[in-house]
Amino acid sequence: MTAKVRALRAKVQGRGRRRAGFLAAGSALLLATLAACGGGTSTGGGSQGFSPVKQTGGKLTVWVDSSRLAAAKLYQKENPSVKMDIVTYDGDANGSNYLRTKVSLFNRTRKGWPDVVFSSQNNETSWAVQAGFTAPLNKGLIPSSTLAGWAKGANDPCTVDGTVYCLRNDLAQTVLWYNTALMKKWHYTVPTTWEQYEALGKKVATEHPGYLVGSAGDPFTPEIYMWPGKCGANNVTGPKAVTVKATDANCKRMASLLDTLVANKTLSTSSVFSSDFDKNAAGKLLMMPGPSWYGGSLFQSTFKTPAHQIAVAPTPQWAGDSSPATGDVGGGTWLLSAHSTNLKAATKFLTWVTTSNDYQGKIAPGYPAYAPAAKAWLANQAASGYYANDITAPLQKAADQVWPGWGYGQFSQEAIWAATVTPGQTAGKSIVSLLPAWQKAIVNYARADGYTVSQ
């Protein structure tokens, strides 16, 4: 039997050798191909190096998330002659990195890039510029008179060394949403400081248990509370430099406020988008700090809160703090591909989608970043009669008060919070006790993305 086995083995080896020879030849060929086609993987375009590829026209490929699908469809309807390929994707929500993943693959295959992309994140330039994906917009593609129309600082997340690489779709400045009917019924006054907010939360817990003053269960919780609370966890100081002080006094102060209100159950720990929240919490909201898009996306379309109930007040501030601060939850961006063979049509669409009153003024769910469109949008919102007060003034004011001490890094603060703080919270730990772990995670992820971290 052993002889038989040995013979078999010899045979197998012989065949194996032949196969190996074939493989060696094959892989040599492969390596040669690789050497020819591979090469520049991360040798990005840089700000000066934009030279458009041959403009051959063809289909205009547009990637949007489900909320922006209406925009692309409307453009197609208004411009039936433009051949469009509209693709929906997750919009990179919650730091999903879908776009980055795909672009990295397209950079390898040297084809497949979409012409125009919407992203619900505003930190895309942190990688897309380096990857050579985005076209510079203020170097001839879009006139500076148009660019001047954006709200102050709106395109900051899009700007690298003075070059604009994307256009802000909407602003997501945080405000305090509240239910006027309940406020009146229970004779409460809308809080203007975080201290009053906390006190009101305690009052609600005893007087009207079951009702909520907000939610702390989303990955963007730090952007609603920590950012306007001036917590120094995410101070991006340069293209690859960040200062992380997630355990400073303001962070601790805000964390303990959240802990108090979570403990007395006036803050929900479910995501506002979860089936759980919609079922159990949506009808019990006294107030909720959140971004400008909460009004349209959450109250009006998801929770179906009746008209004339929801109103807007400025984000609470720390008592005695004279410089008001708000946070910023996303606020999407539009990117134009530097590889587009259809720059003219792509730029035309990009300009339309960010500035036109047809979309931004009338349909857009969020507060337009382009100021003239924002005016039309606000007028429209006021005319719709959905809100119980005039939302124009607080939203406009909040747009200029986004605290600059919190930046737009490559690492996703939302993903870090979700993976570090949320599970701890679910297990019953306080946010204050999780701050050191949060600090460590931010530092680790920032370093993994090549940031120089000061602590």
Q: Are 65 and 55 in contact (CB under 8 A)?
A: no
Q: Which is nearer to another protein, 189 or 275 (CB)?
A: 275
E-assigned strand segments in 65-217: 84-88, 116-119, 159-160, 163-164, 166-168, 170-171, 174-179, 214-215
Q: Which is nearer to another protein, 198 or 259 (CB)?
A: 259
Q: Which is nearer to another protein, 37 or 319 (CB)?
A: 37
CB of 387 to another protein, least distance (A): 28
Q: Which is nearer to another protein, 393 or 448 (CB)?
A: 448
**Exposure letters 339-375 (e unless 16+ CB within 10 A, then b):** bbbbbebbbbbbbbbbbbbbbbbeebbbbbbbbebbe
Q: Which is nearer to another protein, 67 or 326 (CB)?
A: 67
Name the amino acid, one letter, at 51.
S
Q: Which is nearer to another protein, 155 or 221 (CB)?
A: 221
CB of 154 to another protein, least distance (A): 26
Nearest to 401 by CA among 298, 287, 314, 319: 314
Q: Which is nearer to another protein, 105 or 393 (CB)?
A: 105
What stretch of H or E contains 452? strand 452-454
CB of 331 to another protein, least distance (A): 18
Sign of the alpha-carbon torsion through 126, 132, 135, 138: positive
CB of 223 to another protein, least distance (A): 14
Backbone angles phi, psi at 320, to 5 degrees: 85, -5
What stretch of H or E contains 19? helix 2-37
CB of 267 to another protein, least distance (A): 14
Q: Which is nearer to another protein, 152 or 279 (CB)?
A: 279
Q: Are 455 and 443 in contact (CB under 8 A)?
A: yes
CB of 182 to another protein, least distance (A): 25
Q: Which is nearer to another protein, 26 or 143 (CB)?
A: 26
What's the CA gap between 407 and 417, in Å, rounded?
Answer: 15
Q: What tokens were used for 191?
A: 């809080």
List residues near another protein by CB under 8 A: 1, 4-5, 19, 23, 26-27, 30-31, 34-35, 38-39, 41-42, 93-97, 100-101, 104, 127, 130-131, 217-219, 269-271, 274-276, 279, 412, 414-415, 418-419, 422-423, 426-427, 444, 447-450
CA-angle at 374, arms to 373 and 380, nearest 5°: 90
CB of 385 to another protein, least distance (A): 33
Q: Which is nearer to another protein, 103 or 312 (CB)?
A: 103
CB of 5 to another protein, least distance (A): 6
**Exposure letters 270-285 (e unless 16+ CB within 10 A, then b):** bbbeeeebbeebbeeb
Q: Are 267 and 277 in contact (CB under 8 A)?
A: no
Give residues with Cβ within 8 angstroms of 418, minimum separation 6.
Answer: 94, 219
Give residues with Cβ within 8 angstroms of 90, minimum separation 6.
Answer: 65, 96, 98
Q: Which is nearer to another protein, 31 or 87 (CB)?
A: 31
Sequence-ordered alpha helix ranges (H) in 58-132: 69-78, 98-109, 125-128
CB of 46 to another protein, least distance (A): 16
Q: Which is nearer to another protein, 281 or 371 (CB)?
A: 281
CB of 117 to another protein, least distance (A): 16
E-assigned strand segments in 328-419: 333-336, 367-368
Other residues' Cβ atoms within 10 Å of the Cβ of residue 15: 10
CB of 403 to another protein, least distance (A): 24
What's the CA gap between 190 and 183, in Å, rounded?
Answer: 8
CB of 19 to another protein, least distance (A): 8
